Amino acid sequence: MSPGFIRLLAEAWSRFRSAADLVLAIAGALLFLPALAVQLLCDPLPSLPTTGNDEAAARAWIDALGTWAQANGLWYVLADLIGMVGLAAIALLLLDPARPSVGEALAAAGRRAGRFILASVLVALPVGAGLWLFVLPGLYLQARLVMTVPILAADSQQGAARALAASWAGTRPLAWGLFGAVTMLFLVQWLAVSPLLSADDWLRAPAHHNPFVIALVAVLLAAITSAHKIALLLLGMVAYRRASKGM
């Protein structure tokens, strides 16, 4: 019988508690700090037009978005790449049969960074498209591909494309439990982030500008985003362990 999403989330939480010090040390340096840096140092995204179907306003927003991407996009990409290496190091630390130290896990993640980054991009493309289309297809794809990074960490000979295929096959018995868990994590993140994004827009308006509170909001946004990524990784590890043991 396939486990429910609550059981899977509980196992992921137990996995985190067993290695919290190591996970938080790596995540703090390689996920949280880069995310916080771009929040504080890069320009905010242009606000969406509020005039409905105004074609001129939409065109102006697209132009502003392009200008923003040219000035800030590289830093966001760099922060994401560093975060991917951090997630790979956590996965290696917890799943590599050789039981590496933190330093060895970081070194191995650096050596195999290309494979982990390629796999992350291959996962992000269909998941992002699914989220953009109707949210739920993206969450289902995320659930089915959640084992990709753990598979790469556990098997140094595995390639990125093969890891995606192995994740799709390995998550089949757990599909609906994983879908429920991924959906729950998405909803929790969305409920936490949405008011903070609104507050950030409000605080950046000239009439309400408050650098201290903006920094506090940036800290919370970076922490929530990092926590969501770690939770998905740990969920993937739980799925991998179950698939390896035949449920």
The model's pTM: 0.91
The helix/strand count (H/E) of the chain reads as: 11, 0
Cβ-count burial of 24 within 10 angstroms (0-12 exposed, 13-18 middle, 19+ buried)?
middle
Residue-wise pLDDT tens digits, 237-247: 999 999 987 64
Per residue in 115-172, pLDDT (tens digit) is 999 999 999 999 999 998 889 999 999 999 999 999 999 988 899 999 999 999 999 9
Q: Answer whether residue 1 shows pLDDT above 60.
A: no
Is residue 92 within 8 Å of 108, Cβ to Cβ?
A: yes
Question: For residues 168 and 199, which has the higher predicted lDDT (pLDDT)?
Answer: 168
* Residue 54 pLDDT: 65
What's the rounded Cα separation, in Å, for the pair 54 and 26?
46
pLDDT at 204 over 90: no
